Amino acid sequence: MPLGMNKHGSRSTTSLPPDPTEIVRSKACSRRVKLNVGGLAHEVLWRTLDRLPRTRLGKLRDCNTHDSLMEICDDYNLEENEYFFDRHPGAFTSILNFYRTGKLHMMEEMCALSFSQELDYWGVDEIYLESCCQARYHQKKEQMNEELKREAETLREREGEEFDNTCCAEKRKKLWDLLEKPNSSVAAKILAIISIMFIVLSTIALSLNTLPELQGVDEFGQTTDNPQLAHVEAVCIAWFTMEYLLRFLSSPKKWKFFKGPLNAIDLLAILPYYVTIFLTESNKSVLQFQNVRRVVQIFRIMRILRILKLARHSTGLQSLGFTLRRSYNELGLLILFLAMGIMIFSSLVFFAEKDEDDTKFKSIPASFWWATITMTTVGYGDIYPKTLLGKIVGGLCCIAGVLVIALPIPIIVNNFSEFYKEQKRQEKAIKRREALERAKRNGSIVSMNMKDAFARSIELMDIVVEKNGESIAKKDKVQDNHLSPSKWKWTKRTLSETSSSKSFETKEQGSPEKARSSSSPQHLNVQQLEDMYNKMAKTQSQPNLNTKESSQAGKPKEELEMETLPGPMVPLLATRTDGIIDMRSMSSIDSFISCAAEFPDCGRFSHSPLTALPCKGGINVIQEQSRPQGSSARYAEINPGSESSHRSAFFIESPKSSIKASNPLKLRSLKVNFMEEDTSTLVPASNVLRTYPDPLKSRGATAAATDSSLLSDRSLMSPETSIYTTASARTPPKSPESQAAIAFNFHDAGIHKYIDADTDDEGQLMYDSSPPGNVSPKYTVANSGYLKQKDHVYRTEKNHLEAAALPTSPKLIGQNCIYSMEGITGRTQGNQETVRLENHISPEVHVLPGSGGHANTHAQSI
Amino acid sequence: YKMAGDSRFPDVDTDGSEKSEEMEIVVNVGGVRQVFYGDNLNQYPETRLAELVNCLSGGYDSIFSLCDDYDPGKREFYFDRDPDAFKCIIDVYYFGEIHMKKGICPICFKNEMEFWKVDLKFLDDCCKAHLSEKKEELEEIARRVQLILDDLGVDASESRWKRCQKYIWKFLEKPESSYPARVIAVLSFLFILISSVVMCVGTIPDLQVVDAEGNRMEHPTLDSIETACIGWFTMEYVLRLISSPNKLHFALSFMNIVDVLAILPFYVSLTLTHLGAKLMELSNVQQAVQALRIMRIARIFKLARHSSGLQTLTYALKRSFKELGLLLMYLAVGIFVFSALGYTMEQSHPETLFKSIPQSFWWAIITMTTVGYGDIYPKTTLGKLNAAISFLCGVIAIALPIHPIINNFVRYYNKQRVLETAAKHELELMELNSAEGKATGSRSELEDLSREGKDDPFYSSRIKVSHSDTFIHLLSEEKNYRTRLQSCK
């Protein structure tokens, strides 16, 4: 079923929120309610929803004001008695059934993680899941968590190498790469091969040493090493020692290096040699040579450990070790089975054979050997039963041995194959990611063939990168700043923003203090964002278009924009910059989960390596904003600035955020935060609306407002915001009124001359990506001013989202992706050109004729 | 939705039911509208929809007892149920059978079918297997929950002796119930190990002593250790027997038979040495005692009590009886064939090791299981060829039937873990439901006061009453479990 929301009745077309009495009346006139979740309409009795009053749907009944309703649902239509939720429809069916029957079952094909997200959104605790589905749910969830954790760990290991704290970091990093990452360069590969050769050589020398023909005899009559082989040995040990020392010196974290199992093996491989030398040298004079000799012999045996050094160069050996560690339970079982079998059969065969003359089964412990050799089907034949009874026991023992050994092994094998597969996959993913980052650094990514990139990025969604201590450290900094409520200079900020992306750091520091020092709602939001940020130190690297979280996350920003209107003080820039990181991280984490499961088709496109999708919104915004200002004097200076900052931010920001790895465990807390945010979001919106009916006041304030808005324009040009807007742009029609209100203000202020420069393009853009039916009401809302255009963008984005949310249109998403890419390519050129470019380069995008004209007439009429 | 009944509806003229035949009802299930024709529904008069059609004339009361809402303007009946399952269930009116939509939990689907009063027999066999599998699993979970609840339950009403009995039972049988119980379990495990070791060590000739008549006897210290162990086992068994709620069931269970077998030989040999001397000759007595010593091996099986892995093994072997038979049969056939072949082929050799067919059985077993002691081996070329083939066949004969056995083992092994967590979850759910029941109960009262008439008490209380699907009759004595849960809290 397509979107059921009716254009005529849709609340978003009216600029005024309905009266509480209206809402109450609408609720009272029907016993039933229509719930539209992601396009799938459900009808349910009100009293069914009342059964779980603390859940989201349960609260819907008690909400009688517009604001509280908007907190709970994304849109509503009173005439149709329909409420829209922008969520996954598949999971909702199961959840609604929980209201109906009191039993929560899970659709079998649902991804467990995605389902748990949905449960969190609807406010249902996962504990209600029925036992029949619970096992599967938890199994999947645990498995997923474990996998993610492991991936994050390995990647963190790779990422966590920071060389910035000590001297000659550059050289040490190079050395480290050379020794530790054989794939990083040809030289490293050669070095690895030499290392392997040395290991093999030293092992061969070790075994040859024991050949009697090659051994010499010393003055005590004891055999000694062959001198040539001793030289080989010395050379090998020298190589190993050098390797170990270099590794140790170049390692970023010494203690961690020392503790690593592979490095411990290295140490064990070289230590015996030195201990032997030390012992023989120090004890030569002393007469307890015999004892020393024995100790030396033991150490010689320990030299065989060096064969384990090969593990460093072989994934297979590492996975074997890991498997054994993981399946010690099953190994114990195997040994237990064997021990019991040996015990039983050896005593049986002892009693069967003990009366035989010249028997070798002298006692039960003596027949242990026989039982072991028989059960493992080795069968040396040094002991074998001779009586009939003994032979029967022997036969049974063979069969039992085969069975008992075979049983637990498949479990171990399973563990091994899983881990091995995982390891292989990870290796590939890491390689790809490294290539990607290199490409990003070089900037070559822009000229890359986008379609190819998408095709290749399918597997990239495996990559999970963890943002290590950095994020936490940053957070700490921020917290410190909170304590010192120094006033934040607005003009300075603008400068720093336009200057370069380096200002990112300063912004980071400057913004949060504002957030703390005053108690206005947006600060609350920032606080929550920060909380979220703290909770979510990890995120997935690929941001995504069709995330719902981002739409939620966008709300606070929307609100911030509204805040600019009432007063000319503009603290929002600061708060915004901080929020962006959160937005990104959140959107990406959600995308990873929801897309992987829900929209397999879209998911693969959305995981673009370029993180290009979010940029699209940014570009649009820049176009919109800079155009009105283009006629003003500021255009020249601001626009280039914004361009450069935008670009640099794009390339610098994205890797940074990509470092954060997702932590699904934290998702739930995140969710809660979102919900809280919703509540605060609506307050300012209503404030704006209240100011709006008073035209005199707003007119009086327009001068200031214009000023502030221009300033905010500039802020919108800042790189972060541009990325940010994507998220906000997807906010479902919660803010239209407020936007409309702003638009009216600007209309009054006479800025409308900039307005319609590009409405055609906007209209086309909008029609490109949205089903035509959805568009027309939006035009009626949009009035004038650049904010109207922004509104367009906003709507375009929303339509994007809608299209993306419907799993039926993966192709559409593909188109969107492509054309947004083109947008980036064209970004460096003039704004007008960029827009044209977008339209021209994406020919597959369907352009509806007359749409531009439609928009124009509306604009002019108002 | 053009129905199958649509085409025949005007001309078919069965007597009497003309009215319901022309009847066209609109059903709205959770937002999904569906048009039905009366005759179509009346194929299965016991179903909810058919009842609805038949009682249309009965006024609003009867209608509202069947459906949740009725819109007289549109003549539309509203049901507050899952539309997805409904779409599958109405297939019964058109095709006479139901197929479950993929992805719906079978238990959930079963409940929907019960709501629509469609008999489970209409569910097609292909989907039924799925359902029964899930049902079995739930029953297993329920059994476990029951066990846990039994453990938790301490009824104050019982006599002191009973309570004491229960306490001892818990102490000995449930090592996870308390810390001392765990200590006891570990101790018992150690005793089993010690006694097994003593049994083995006692047969080493160096450690044996020679008694007055020249017979080898066990070392006296080993003997005393043995006695101590047997004492422990006996005490354990007796305590268990006394405290067990069902004596007969206890005595016949596998693990307890093993226990008896582990301690009996000691007492039998003790009585034989003391009393038997009078009844029969000394050598006979000694032989009997020797034979009884073999029985001591049984104590190793006592380990199974302490290892879930061993229990899984026995379960898997029990479940794959057929496959085990297959394995033995393959081997037996192979042994017969190859030993006969080997015997005939080796006849030509003057110093053959294959003296007879039964004697070459041993060779065949050892070869087919790839053990190969080397005490008997073929010497002629043909015999060697035969040996090679028999070795290959042996590998295959063992490998083929072993796979299902392994499968059984792995599946059961994994299932065991799943069930464990599921049982715990189930308990949590029950606790939650009982707590919720009270909460919603009080709340619904309030609501009834505030907006009376809108909520009928049936609905607001429905959530409270419904318990989880695992609730089979076993567990449904609500009071019982609730008090138990509360008492354990």
Which of B200, B310, B370 lies at the smallest CB-CB distance from A365?
Answer: B200
How many residues does the structure list for chain A?
Answer: 862
Judged by CB atoms closer than 8 Å, whether chains meet at B402 and A379 is answered as: no
Q: What is the pLDDT of residue A371?
A: 92
Task: Tell me whether residue A373 is in a domain.
Answer: yes
Residues of B in contact with A105 (CB under 8 A): 104-105, 107-108
Give the count of domains, chain A: 3
Residues A194 and A291 occupy one common structural domain: yes
Put simply, the answer to whether B82 touches A403 (Cβ < 8 Å) is no
Q: Are residues A304 and A217 in the same domain?
A: yes
- Give the pLDDT band (50/70/90) at residue A307: confident
> Same domain, yes or no, for A222 and A268?
yes
**Same domain for A330 and A307?**
no
Closest CA to B202 of A365, A32, A749: A365
Tell me if the domain spanning B311-427 has CATH number 1.10.287.70. Answer: yes
Same domain, A114 and A60: yes
User: Alpha carbon of B163 to those of A403, B36, B156, B245: distances in Å?
Assistant: 45, 62, 8, 11
Which residues in chain B have Cβ-Cβ distances shorter than 8 Å to A35? Answer: 31
Q: Specify the pLDDT at position A397.
A: 93
Nearest C-alpha of chain B: how many angstroms from A66?
22
Are A418 and A356 in the same domain?
yes
For residue A484, being part of any structural domain is answered with no
**Cβ–Cβ < 8 Å for A34, A49:** no
Phi/psi at A279 (5° precision): -65, -45
Give mean pLDDT, residues A595-602.
38
Binary contact (A395, B362; C-beta < 8 A) = yes
Cα separation of the two ends of chain A: 35
Please report the beta strands in A767-856, taking only residues with DSSP state E, as ranges in sequence order. Answer: none
ipTM: 0.73
Residue from the list A47, A381, A403 with its beta carbon closest to the beta carbon of B374: A381
Tell me, letter by letter, the H, E, C secondary structure of A209-262: CCCHHHCEECCCCCEECCHHHHHHHHHHHHHHHHHHHHHHHHCCCHHHHHHCHH
**Which pLDDT does position B333 carry in this prediction?**
93
User: CB–CB of A606/A545 below 8 Å?
Assistant: yes
**What pLDDT, on a 0 to 100 scale, did the predictor assign at position A368?**
92
Residue A76 forms beta bridges with which residues?
Answer: A83
Does residue A630 register a pLDDT over 70? no
Which of B83, B444, B108 is closest to A107 using CA atoms?
Answer: B108
Tell me which of A237-241, A830-834, B205-209, B324-328 is least confident. A830-834
Contact criterion met (CB < 8 Å) for A410 and B294: no
The three state secondary structure string of A130-193 is: CHHHHHHHHHHHHHHHHHHHHHHHHHHHHHCCCCCCCCCHHHHHHHHHHHHCCCCCHHHHHHHH
Q: What's the rounded Cα separation, in Å, for the pair B44 and B52?
A: 12
Domain stops at, among A313, A335, A366: A313
Q: What is the pLDDT of residue A283?
A: 67
A vs B, Cβ pairs < 8 A, gives: 227
Residues in B closer than 8 angstroms to A336, CB to CB, are 303, 307, 309-310
Q: Are residues A59 and A124 in the same domain?
A: yes
Q: How far, in Å, CA of B351 to CA of B364, rounded?
A: 19
pLDDT value of residue A498? 38
The partner residue sitting opposite A135, judged by closest CB among B307, B410, B422, is B422
Residue A116 CA to residue A118 CA, distance in Å, equals: 5
Given a contact cutoff of 8 angstroms between Cβ atoms, the answer to whether B429 and B468 are in contact is yes
Asked, for residue A585, whether it belongs to a domain, the answer is: no
CATH number assigned to the domain comprising residue A53: 3.30.710.10
Secondary structure (3-state) at A9: coil
Cβ atoms of B31 and B83 closer than 8 Å: yes
Structure tokens at A172: 């040490």
A267 and A334 housed in the same domain: no
Mean of pLDDT values over A500-505: 38
Looking at the complex, report in whole angstroms how far the Cα of residue B345 sits from the nearest Cα belonging to chain A.
23
- β-pairing, B76-79 with B24-29? parallel
The residues, ordered by sequence, that sit 6+ positions from B164 with a Cβ below 8 Å of its Cβ are none
Q: Which of B184, B168, B310, B135 is CA-nearest to residue B240?
A: B168
Ranking A298-302, A543-547, B265-269, B308-312 by mean pLDDT, the lowest is: A543-547
Of 3.40.50.150, 3.40.920.10, 3.30.710.10, 3.50.50.60, the CATH number of B24-147 is: 3.30.710.10
CB-count burial class (<10 Å; 0-12, 13-18, 19+) for B212: exposed
Which of A79-88, A276-285, A465-474, B184-193 is least confident? Answer: A465-474
Q: Which of A288, A313, A338 represents a domain boundary (last residue)?
A: A313
* C-alpha angle A197-A200-A203 in degrees, rounded to nearest 5: 145
Does residue A300 lie within any of the structural domains? yes
B421 neighbourhood in chain A, CB within 8 Å: 134-135, 138
Is A96's CB within 8 Å of B30's CB? yes
Q: How far apart are CA A787 and CA B316, in angstroms?
A: 71
CATH no. for residue A175? 1.20.120.350
Of B298, B197, B226, B294, give the one whose Cα is nearest residue B255: B298
Across the beta sheet with B69-71, what order do the strands follow? B32-37, B24-29, B76-79, B69-71
Report the distance separating Cα A481 and Cα A514, nearest Å: 9
Query: Mind listing the pLDDT tens digit of every residue in chain B (489 residues)?
Result: 334 333 333 333 344 444 444 677 888 888 888 888 877 888 888 888 888 877 777 777 777 777 777 877 777 888 888 888 888 888 888 888 888 887 788 888 888 888 888 888 888 888 888 888 888 888 888 888 877 777 666 555 667 788 788 888 878 877 777 888 889 889 998 999 898 888 888 888 887 777 766 667 778 888 899 899 999 999 989 988 888 888 888 888 888 888 888 888 888 888 887 776 666 676 777 777 777 878 888 888 888 888 888 888 888 888 888 888 988 899 999 999 999 999 998 888 888 888 888 888 999 999 998 888 888 889 899 999 999 999 999 988 888 888 888 888 888 888 887 887 777 777 777 777 676 655 544 444 434 433 333 333 333 334 433 444 544 444 444 444 444 444 443
Nearest to A541 by CA among A647, A600, A474, A614: A614
Asked if A130 lies within 8 A of B469 by C-beta distance, the reply is yes
Mutation for A interface: B77, B105, B196, B464, most A CBs within 10 A? B105
Assess if residue A770 is contained within a domain: no
**Residues of A with CB below 8 A from B294's CB?**
347-348, 351
| Phi/psi of residue A40, nearest 5 degrees | -100, 120
Q: Which residues of B touch A108 (CB under 8 A)?
A: 102-105
pLDDT for res B204:
84
Q: What is the 3-state secondary structure (H, E, C) of A340-353?
A: HHHHHHHHHHHHHH
Q: How far apart are CA A551 and CA A563, in angstroms?
A: 19
Q: Which of helix, strand or coil describes residue B369?
A: coil
pLDDT tens sequence across A715-743:
334 343 333 333 333 334 443 444 433 33
Answer yes or no: are the C-beta atoms of B76 and B33 closer than 8 Å: yes
CATH 3.30.70 fits B162-306, yes or no: no
Please tell me which residue of chain B has the smallest CA distance to A32.
B69
Token reading at A493: 């900020």
Q: Which of B68, B366, B468 is opposite residue A45, by nearest beta carbon?
A: B68
d(CA A781, CA A71): 22
Q: Which range has the worst mean pLDDT, A42-46, A849-853, B40-44, B407-411? A: A849-853
Q: In this predicted model, what pLDDT tens digit does every residue of A654-687 receive, in sequence order? A: 333 333 333 443 334 333 333 334 433 333 433 4
On whether both A236 and A299 belong to a single domain, the answer is yes
pLDDT at A45: 82
Specify the CATH number for the domain of residue A411: 1.10.287.70
Q: What is the pLDDT of residue A355?
A: 81
Angle at A61 between CA A55 and CA A67, to 5 degrees: 95
Between residues A91 and B150, the one the model is more confident about: A91
Highest mean pLDDT among A232-236, A490-494, A810-814, A840-844: A232-236
| Test mutation, B369, B452, B474, chain A, max A CBs within 10 A | B369
Q: What is the C-alpha to C-alpha distance for residues A268 and B220, in angstroms, rounded to an integer?
A: 48
The answer to which of A95-109, A469-483, B59-73 has the lowest mean pLDDT is A469-483
**Would you call B402 and A391 a contact, using CB atoms and an 8 Å cutoff?**
no
A337 with A273, same domain: the answer is: no
* Within a domain: A381: yes
Residues A279 and A382 in one domain: no
Contact yes or no for A44 and B30 at CB 8 A: yes
Mean pLDDT score of chain A:
60
| A84 has a pLDDT exceeding 90 | no
Highest mean pLDDT, choosing among A135-149, A252-266, A273-287, A464-478: A252-266
B36 vs B26: CA distance, rounded Å: 6
Round to whole Å and give the CA distance between A546 and B244.
62
Tell me the residue range of the domain where A28 lies: 20-156
In chain B, whose CA is at the least distance from the CA of A109?
Answer: B103
Smallest CA-to-CA distance from B192 within B222, B233, B224 is with B233
Mean pLDDT of A601-607: 37
Sketch the domain layout of chain B as residue ranges.
Answer: 24-147, 162-306, 311-427
Measured between CA atoms, how close is B439 to chain A, in angstroms?
A: 11
Whether residues A365 and B203 touch (CB distance < 8 A) is answered with: yes
- pLDDT at position B228: 92
In the three-class reduction of DSSP (H, G, I as helix; E, B as strand; rest coil), residue B19 is classed as helix
Looking at A409, A435, A461, the residue that finishes a domain is A435
Average pLDDT over residues A228-240: 88
- Same-domain status, A137 and A68: yes
